[in-house]
Structures are given as structure tokens and as C-alpha cells.
């Protein structure tokens, strides 16, 4: 069994849900308090033992590359002013083992992952979507790697959702429960209606895939929106090399959604040492004001 060493982070989307902010700014650089959302994803990969990362970028995404590169002028300025804590914070994001490739056309998540084929080669790999921030004592990506090591199967991260929300997610048709958090899968179904959904176990933004996925993606017909859907490719892969679903029960923030990003900023702000006291007092005061309305 090959060691899981590599990660793919798709970051080529146009970020239209956050216009006009994303007209000239990469969606993945939108901050949660003081940290770009993509940094949390990269840190999760590294904390899980990933050695090499490729980010699938697109037009207007160069700030992501700049963020993880050395900023010599900034570092020298911080050194001269004795701002050692800030310097350490900046140097923490100097990550030489991040590589980049562009997705030329917005043809969906499956096509974005296909751009990483040369980088991945014939190895298993993880995919981390930047819209999902999932802080947990044991990183979710590590749980997927551990599950792969135990089962020798590809793994899809899932989470229980409200039944009425199934038409927004890929949904698992469960075959049987294999262990406390793991299920074998009959089918992976893209966005079924609540009336037809076989479960409320939804695919969330972490995957561990085997390299056979690339042949499937290369030959898969685009959908009506001219996008190559990853869920459809995983359904095909499951027929060749069965995958398992891992059920995540920790905290999840959907920062690809305006409301989700606001919630993340509030809750992370309540934990941040520079903001937590003011945030706590503000929320208590706001709650009292809202009660009077």
C-alpha cells in the first residue's frame, strides 16, 4: 500500500457568491479574523502528514501564491523593528512544497482535479476543498488517511445534514456500517431531492482518492452546465475499486457561503486572543438589544 503524501487543493473558482469583493480578490484569500481561509486548509493538510501540495488556481489567483511565498521586504522590516512575533507569524506561511497549476477553463471540480494528474502520478492522494473549514483535535484529513491505511479503500468524508438540504450535496446510499464512523457505499448520488435521497449522509469537502480516478475524469462526459462532476466520477470509481464513507462529527464552517463566513468570523473571533474579550462583550450587548426589538 502506497503512503499518502500528496494533496490537491482546488482554488480556481470565480467566487461569484462574494461579488463584488471577488472581482479583484481571490475568494480563498478572504480572511477569517486575520487568516486567509485557504491557510486553514493548507495547515490541516500539513498537520495530517502531507508532504507535497498542489493548488489548482486560475486567473486572478496570484495572491494565493504570494501568500505562501517569502516576502523579503516585509520580513526585513519586521526584523528591524523587533516585531519578532509578527515575523514568526509571517514566516510560518513560507511553504516551499506548494506547487501550482492553472485550470484554463471553469469546467467543474472534476476537471480541476484532473489538472493535478502529472503531479500525483500513480499515488493515492487527498483532496481538500477550501470552502470547508473543519477545526478538530484530530484533523479530518488524517482520519481519512488512517481509514485508508486500515481498509485499503478510497475514502469520502461525509456528515449528517438536515433532510431538506440534500439537494445541495452529494449524498451517500449506504450499503452497511463497517465501523463506528465508516460505511460501505452502494451509490454516490449528486444532489437528490429530499423525497428521493437515500440518506442524509452528505459528502463534504475532503476526499482520499486513488489514481484510477484520472482515467475516469478524462473520459467522463460533462454535465448540462459543461462541468465535469467529481461525484459522478467517484460513483464510477466505486464500481471498480469500492470506496468507503467516513462520517465526520466535528465542527464544520462553510466559508463558501456568506452566512457561513460570517459565522466563522464570529466564532473564531471569540477564540482569538486579540479579539475575544471585545467580541464577547459585543455579542452579550447585541443579544440584549435584539431581545428588546
Structure letter (DSSP) for residue 168: G
Task: Summarize the confidence of residues 8-20 as an average pLDDT.
Answer: 90
Q: Write out pLDDT tens, residues 122-137.
A: 999 999 999 999 999 9
Cell of 242: 469500492
Position 61 scores a pLDDT of: 87
The domain limits of the chain are: 6-256, 258-293
pLDDT digits (tens, 9 = 90+) for 211-236: 999 999 999 888 878 888 898 999 99
Q: Look at residue 190 in the predicted model and tell me its pLDDT.
A: 86
Would you state the pLDDT for residue 293?
Answer: 66
pLDDT of res. 199: 94
pLDDT at residue 12 tops 90: no
Q: Exposed (0-12), middle (13-18) or buried (19+): which is 46, by Cβ within 10 Å?
A: middle
Residue 31 near residue 24, CB atoms below 8 Å: no
The neighbour count for residue 236, using CB atoms within 10 Å, is 16
In this prediction, residue 15 has a pLDDT band, given cuts at 50, 70 and 90, of confident
Which of 11-25, 37-51, 177-191 ranks highest by mean pLDDT? 37-51
- CATH of the domain spanning 6-256, picked from 3.30.1380.20, 3.90.226.10, 1.20.1260.120, 3.90.550.10: 3.90.550.10
Give the span between the Cα atoms of 45 and 11, in whole angstroms.
15
Please return the burial class of 185, using the count of CB atoms within 10 Å of its CB with bins 0-12, 13-18 and 19+: buried
pLDDT band at 13, cuts 50/70/90?
Answer: confident
Mean pLDDT calculated for residue range 106-110? 87
User: In whole numbers, what is the pLDDT of the chain averaged over residues?
Assistant: 92
Mean pLDDT calculated for residue range 88-107: 88
Q: What is the DSSP string of 127-154?
A: EE-TTEE---SS-HHHHHHHHHHHH-S-
Share of the chain above pLDDT 90, in %: 76
Say what the pTM is.
Answer: 0.92
Question: What's the pLDDT tens digit per position in 241-266?
Answer: 999 999 999 999 999 999 999 999 99
Amino acid at each position: 500500500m502506497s503512503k499518502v503524501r500528496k494533496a490537491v487543493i482546488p482554488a480556481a473558482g470565480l467566487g461569484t457568491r462574494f461579488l463584488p469583493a471577488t472581482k479583484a480578490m481571490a475568494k480563498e484569500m478572504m480572511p477569517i479574523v486575520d487568516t486567509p481561509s485557504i491557510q486553514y486548509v493548507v495547515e490541516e493538510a500539513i498537520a495530517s502528514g502531507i508532504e507535497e501540495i498542489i493548488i489548482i488556481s486560475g486567473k486572478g489567483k496570484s495572491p494565493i501564491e504570494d501568500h505562501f511565498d517569502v516576502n523579503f521586504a516585509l520580513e526585513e522590516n519586521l526584523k528591524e523593528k523587533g516585531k519578532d512575533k509578527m515575523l514568526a507569524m509571517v514566516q510560518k506561511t513560507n511553504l516551499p512544497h506548494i506547487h501550482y497549476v492553472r485550470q484554463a477553463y471553469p469546467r467543474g471540480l472534476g476537471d480541476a482535479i484532473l489538472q493535478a494528474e502529472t503531479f500525483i502520478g500513480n499515488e493515492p492522494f487527498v483532496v481538500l476543498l477550501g470552502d470547508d473549514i473543519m477545526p478538530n483535535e484530530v484533523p479530518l484529513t488524517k482520519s481519512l488517511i488512517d481509514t485508508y491505511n486500515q481498509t485499503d479503500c478510497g475514502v469520502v468524508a461525509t456528515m449528517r445534514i438536515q433532510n431538506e438540504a440534500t439537494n445541495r450535496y452529494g449524498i451517500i446510499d449506504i450499503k452497511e456500517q463497517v465501523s463506528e464512523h465508516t460505511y460501505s457505499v452502494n451509490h454516490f448520488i449528486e444532489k437528490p431531492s429530499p423525497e428521493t435521497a437515500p440518506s442524509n449522509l452528505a459528502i463534504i469537502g475532503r476526499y482520499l482518492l486513488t489514481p484510477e480516478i484520472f482515467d475516469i475524469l478524462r473520459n467522463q462526459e460533462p454535465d448540462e452546465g459543461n462541468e465535469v462532476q467529481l461525484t459522478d466520477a467517484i460513483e464510477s470509481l466505486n464500481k471498480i475499486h469500492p470506496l468507503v464513507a467516513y462520517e465526520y462529527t466535528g465542527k464544520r464552517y462553510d466559508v463558501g457561503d456568506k452566512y457561513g463566513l460570517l459565522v466563522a468570523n464570529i466564532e473564531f473571533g471569540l477564540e482569538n486572543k486579540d479579539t475575544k474579550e471585545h467580541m464577547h462583550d459585543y455579542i452579550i450587548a447585541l443579544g440584549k438589544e435584539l431581545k428588546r426589538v
